[in-house]
Chains A and B, each alone.
Chain A
Amino acid sequence: MWRFIGFRVLQSIPVLLVVITVTFFLVRIAPGGPFSSEKAVIPEVKAALEAKYRLNLPMFEQYTAYLGDLAQGDLGPSFKYPGRTVNELIAAGFPVTAELGFYALLVAISIGGIAGVIAALRPNTAQDYIPMSVAMIGICVPSLLMGPILILVFGIYLEWLPVSGWGDMPGDKILPAITLGSTYAAYIARLSRAGMLEVMSQDYIRTARAKGLPEWRVVTGHALRGGMIPVVAFLGPAFAGLLSGSFVVETIFQIPGLGRFYVQAAFNRDYTMILGATVFLATLIVVFNLLSDILAAWMNPRLRSQYGDR
């Protein structure tokens, strides 16, 4: 198992390096810069600013200097928020985004998992078609649309839930979590349906029935574990996707998360902030993919012993 983990960690280094390099040069190739604005700036001031942020150096030297800082965990100073470092900005925004992503994932797993299992129990009947059609709609409706619809229905017409903020009012976390989680709920529903259908056709399910077990015990005791493995393998990418895709929801619901900083940074040509957020999220994606792969392998006894922890 440790060899498997070690190998995967080593594999992720070149991946991250490519991400950093491409992002680094792309943001600099894009027209405009952090200090070019309509207001004329005195050349001396601009030169001083550029010297401070190392923009006067040749591009390759900027790159190696950045990599050097990065190796020490320093993402550099923000261009747009003077006096604050990117590390501080991420540290401020990330907990909110992570909390939102966590709730959204809970929504996705519980709704998606239950819908998928229910659908798989009676394939090609109404019990299958209805949840799966809803899931299809969930995939098709972007959060850009889902958010406002939920706000209209639950916030404005029914007046059940607050429509913006984060932790200011009771229940203000519910709508963002549902909005963000709904797309993933739909994917998970489809994955768990496929996984369960596959498992329910296995010979060992027939064995379980031949033992005289009632159907619910056959499903929960014998089918669920194998059927959920594809879902578990998807959780890593899903959580990473939730984090990096949360900016739409954060914007709609006025949530002070990392996603909003990220988008703002792109508009502002805040080079270090863009890079920092990208590196941070890319690392998270790699880590969560690894975690879900480990979990999925651990759930399968055959793989578990193959990686030699027995």
Chain B
Amino acid sequence: MRWTCAAQRTDTVLKVENLSVSFVTRMGTTQAVDDISFTVETGKITAIIGESGSGKSVACYSLLGLIPQPPGRIDGGRALFHGQDLLQLKPAELRKIRGRDIAMIFQDPMTCLNPYMTVGKQLMEPLLYHKNVSVAQARTRALELLEEVGIRDPASTIDNYPHQFSGGMRQRVMIAMALINEPELLIADEPTTALDVTIQAQILKLLAELQTKRDIGVLFISHDLAVVADIADQIVVMQQGRIVETGNRDDIFRNAKHPYTQKLLHAIPRGGKPVELPASEPLVTVRNLCTWFHSGKTPVKAVDDVSFDILRGEVLGLVGESGSGKSTIGRSLLRLVKVTSGKVHFDGIDVTALQGRELKNLRRRMQFIFQDPFASLNPRRTVYDTLAEPLLLHGLETRATVGAHVLKLMDDVGLARAFVRKYPHEFSGGQRQRIAIGRALATRPEFVVADEPVSALDVTIQAQILELMRELGREYGLTMLFISHDLSVVRQLADRIIVLNRGSVVEQARTEDLFERPQQAYTQQLLQSIPGRGLFGEL
């Protein structure tokens, strides 16, 4: 074995040796997983860490025969589960193990539950299929488990459909479903990545509790070292299909040897930016802003009586969970949604009263960066088209002169000039977000609203984009409203932070003060949910 085992003697539930998986397509063969070995012990959590494309998910899916073959192909290796080599089993034999002895939890609870089937039916299904129990027995068991994973009043919600549950609740249902046959091994593929930070903390806690109580082995896949910092026993770091480092939790966090592991550690957001609070007048003032949406009888008060200022040159962080109204505030400032009441002034101009041409002129000075760089770029337009459009639209450049400006923008956001004729699908997520930032900066705006600009990105890419935004902010003299659900991300960029909950301001403070002396219980709860929080104390 290449790593030091945990101190006490343990039983190995899964032992993977020299697993190699490749994908064979017309474009050629891609080695997705290259000769990896790891073990999962009973009662322990082994975490596999790597960025998208590192092969971590493929490795785990291939163990259970869940990658499509072809194009997938298992080239070699063994995966011993109770002395049985999973890779040699026939599909029918593997099916008996799947969902009974080895269960899985997936990333996105929004899409992983069947929207056409009640939660109860889906929950009972593995039990009814694998074990000889009656429907009534299965239902009793399902209710017990729902209770155990923290679903309130399971008896009245068990016959609901998934869309009637929140994201966190759905993930609890997924966990219950995975545990219903009392498996010996649980494979959790990024189980918290799609969740808000407070929900993430709850789910991680729940997983750790259930795992300890049942004494089962867990294989936890994540792109984020911070997430597994508090729960993992063993950590396996993967890069481009290979394992670059394996060790127990303390080894990895204290003495990471491989440069890639060090890079991942470095990318964990920590600390804030040096405070340089500009003593300037407000550029944006928001007074008693209300934005309500009307559907059904009672209006949804997305933003309810919110007031704040954004000073010229500062980065104001807006933090809250999904549904807190943070995105709606951003959109309201730019008049992308209709404001119900209240005033927004930008540089002395009443934004809420503007019409037509005046609004267009103002939009040149205020720009928006969206969360999802996949959805917010037009797939039929090249980078050149995307970046040139705002320049031409606002008459800042002519067709003849726009080229040079576009290339300058490419330089600014760190994209090679050679890519200028490429289409969005040819870029990675990080590169696309660079394009989106370039588009926002094209008109040399004074004010930018960045709505979760890094939450769709891998951790290391996240760090790069934040760095880029910091540099460009300084260079362009930007005032920024930075919206995120993740306090540790906001901390790196924001001078001041506003915490939102259910459409109202909970707390408003300088970044440093907020982290060191949070005044409100809700803020404290958010701070405690930051993954890997314990880590910073230790390091």
Chain B residues contacting A225 (CB-CB under 8 Å) are 116-117
Q: Complex Cα distance A209/B114, Å?
A: 12
User: Which chain A residue has the least Cβ–Cβ distance from B64?
Assistant: A210
Contacts known (A203-B108, A206-B66, A305-B164); A212 close to B114, Cβ less than 8 A = no
Whether, in the assembled complex, A208 has its beta carbon less than 8 Å from a beta carbon of chain B, the answer is yes
Contact pattern, A 195-207, Cβ under 8 Å of B = 1, otherwise 0: 0000000111011
Contacting residue for B111 out of A202, A221, A222, A300, CB 8 A: A202
Assess the B66–A204 pair: CB atoms within 8 A.
no
Assess the A212–B129 pair: CB atoms within 8 A.
yes
Chain A residues contacting B115 (CB-CB under 8 Å) are 204, 226, 300-302
Whether, in the assembled complex, A152 has its beta carbon less than 8 Å from a beta carbon of chain B, the answer is no
Contact pattern, A 177-214, Cβ under 8 Å of B = 1, otherwise 0: 00000000000000000000000001110111111111
Contacting residue for B112 out of A203, A226, A299, CB 8 A: A203
Assess the A211–B129 pair: CB atoms within 8 A.
yes
Chain A residues contacting B114 (CB-CB under 8 Å) are 204, 207-208, 222, 226
Q: Complex Cα distance A96/B96, Å?
A: 53
Assess the A300–B100 pair: CB atoms within 8 A.
no
Q: Complex Cα distance A299/B98, Å?
A: 30
Assess the B98–A209 pair: CB atoms within 8 A.
yes
Complex interface residues of chain A between 104 and 120 (CB less than 8 A to chain B): none
Chain B residues contacting A302 (CB-CB under 8 Å) are 115, 161, 163
Contacting residue for B98 out of A212, A221, A222, CB 8 A: A212
**Cβ of A297 to closest chain B Cβ, rounded Å:** 13
Whether, in the assembled complex, B97 has its beta carbon less than 8 Å from a beta carbon of chain A, the answer is yes
Assess the B116–A299 pair: CB atoms within 8 A.
yes
User: Which chain A residue has the least Cβ–Cβ distance from B110?
Assistant: A203
Chain B residues contacting A207 (CB-CB under 8 Å) are 104, 106, 112-114, 174, 177
Chain A residues contacting B108 (CB-CB under 8 Å) are 203
Q: Complex Cα distance A202/B103, Å?
A: 19
Interface residues of A, CB < 8 Å — how many? 23
Whether, in the assembled complex, A217 has its beta carbon less than 8 Å from a beta carbon of chain B, the answer is yes
Interface centre among A203, A211, A308 (most CB of B within 10 A): A211
Q: Complex Cα distance A250/B161, Å?
A: 46
Q: Complex Cα distance A214/B161, Å?
A: 23
Q: Complex Cα distance A204/B106, Å?
A: 9
Assess the A210–B95 pair: CB atoms within 8 A.
no
Contacting residue for A226 out of B106, B116, B125, CB 8 A: B116
Contacting residue for B96 out of A206, A212, A301, CB 8 A: A212
Chain B residues contacting A212 (CB-CB under 8 Å) are 95-100, 126, 129-130
Chain A residues contacting B164 (CB-CB under 8 Å) are 305
Contacts known (A203-B108, A225-B116, A302-B161); A210 close to B103, Cβ less than 8 A = yes
Chain A residues contacting B92 (CB-CB under 8 Å) are 214
Q: Complex Cα distance A214/B125, Å?
A: 12
Contact pattern, B 71-103, Cβ under 8 Å of A = 1, otherwise 0: 000000000000000000000100111111001
Assess the A203–B129 pair: CB atoms within 8 A.
no
Q: Complex Cα distance A214/B174, Å?
A: 20
Contacts known (A206-B106, A301-B163, A305-B163); A211 close to B116, Cβ less than 8 A = no
Chain B residues contacting A209 (CB-CB under 8 Å) are 66, 98
Chain A residues contacting B117 (CB-CB under 8 Å) are 221-222, 225
Q: Complex Cα distance A308/B129, Å?
A: 34
Chain A residues contacting B100 (CB-CB under 8 Å) are 212
User: Which chain A residue has the least Cβ–Cβ distance from B174?
Assistant: A207
User: Which chain B residue has the least Cβ–Cβ distance from A213?
Assistant: B129
**Cβ of A78 to closest chain B Cβ, rounded Å:** 49
Contacts known (A210-B66, A211-B129); A204 close to B113, Cβ less than 8 A = yes
Q: Complex Cα distance A213/B114, Å?
A: 14
**Cβ of B167 to closest chain A Cβ, rounded Å:** 14
Chain B residues contacting A221 (CB-CB under 8 Å) are 117, 125
**Cβ of B195 to closest chain A Cβ, rounded Å:** 15
User: Which chain A residue has the least Cβ–Cβ distance from B94?
Assistant: A212
User: Which chain B residue has the least Cβ–Cβ distance from A209?
Assistant: B66
Chain A residues contacting B112 (CB-CB under 8 Å) are 203-204, 206-207
Q: Complex Cα distance A221/B126, Å?
A: 13
Chain B residues contacting A208 (CB-CB under 8 Å) are 114, 125
Assess the B106–A203 pair: CB atoms within 8 A.
yes
Chain B residues contacting A202 (CB-CB under 8 Å) are 111
**Cβ of A254 to closest chain B Cβ, rounded Å:** 45
Q: Complex Cα distance A213/B112, Å?
A: 15
User: Which chain B residue has the least Cβ–Cβ distance from A222?
Assistant: B114
**Cβ of B306 to closest chain A Cβ, rounded Å:** 29
Chain B residues contacting A210 (CB-CB under 8 Å) are 64, 66, 98-99, 103-104, 106
User: Which chain B residue has the least Cβ–Cβ distance from A229?
Assistant: B116
User: Which chain B residue has the least Cβ–Cβ distance from A205?
Assistant: B114
Q: Complex Cα distance A308/B297, Å?
A: 12
**Cβ of A120 to closest chain B Cβ, rounded Å:** 14
Assess the A211–B161 pair: CB atoms within 8 A.
no
Interface centre among B116, B125, B163, B177 (most CB of A within 10 A): B116
**Cβ of B179 to closest chain A Cβ, rounded Å:** 12
Chain A residues contacting B66 (CB-CB under 8 Å) are 206, 209-210
Chain B residues contacting A299 (CB-CB under 8 Å) are 116
User: Which chain B residue has the least Cβ–Cβ distance from A217?
Assistant: B129
Q: Complex Cα distance A123/B296, Å?
A: 43
Q: Complex Cα distance A302/B117, Å?
A: 11
Q: Complex Cα distance A299/B114, Å?
A: 13
Contacts known (A301-B161, A302-B161); A211 close to B125, Cβ less than 8 A = yes
**Cβ of B138 to closest chain A Cβ, rounded Å:** 13
**Cβ of A73 to closest chain B Cβ, rounded Å:** 38
Contact pattern, A 277-310, Cβ under 8 Å of B = 1, otherwise 0: 0000000000000000000000111100100100
Assess the A301–B116 pair: CB atoms within 8 A.
yes
User: Which chain A residue has the least Cβ–Cβ distance from B114?
Assistant: A204
**Cβ of B166 to closest chain A Cβ, rounded Å:** 14
Q: Complex Cα distance A206/B92, Å?
A: 16
Chain A residues contacting B129 (CB-CB under 8 Å) are 211-213, 217
**Cβ of B191 to closest chain A Cβ, rounded Å:** 13
Q: Complex Cα distance A211/B64, Å?
A: 11
User: Which chain A residue has the least Cβ–Cβ distance from B296?
Assistant: A308
User: Which chain B residue has the least Cβ–Cβ distance from A210?
Assistant: B104
Q: Known contacts A212-B96, A212-B129, A302-B115; can you find 9 more A-B pairs with CB under 8 A?
A: A206-B106, A207-B106, A210-B64, A210-B98, A210-B99, A213-B99, A214-B95, A221-B117, A299-B116
28 examples of A-B residue contacts, CB within 8 angstroms: A203-B108, A206-B112, A207-B112, A207-B113, A207-B174, A210-B103, A210-B104, A211-B103, A212-B95, A212-B96, A212-B98, A212-B129, A212-B130, A213-B99, A214-B95, A221-B117, A221-B125, A222-B116, A222-B117, A225-B116, A226-B114, A226-B116, A301-B115, A301-B161, A302-B115, A305-B161, A305-B163, A305-B164
Q: Which 9 A-B pairs have the closest CB atoms?
A: A212-B99, A211-B99, A212-B98, A301-B161, A203-B111, A210-B104, A204-B114, A211-B126, A225-B116
Seen from chain A, the residues whose Cβ lies within 8 Å of a Cβ on chain B are: 202-204, 206-214, 217, 221-222, 225-226, 299-302, 305, 308
Seen from chain B, the residues whose Cβ lies within 8 Å of a Cβ on chain A are: 64, 66, 92, 95-100, 103-104, 106, 108, 111-117, 125-126, 129-130, 161, 163-164, 174, 177, 296
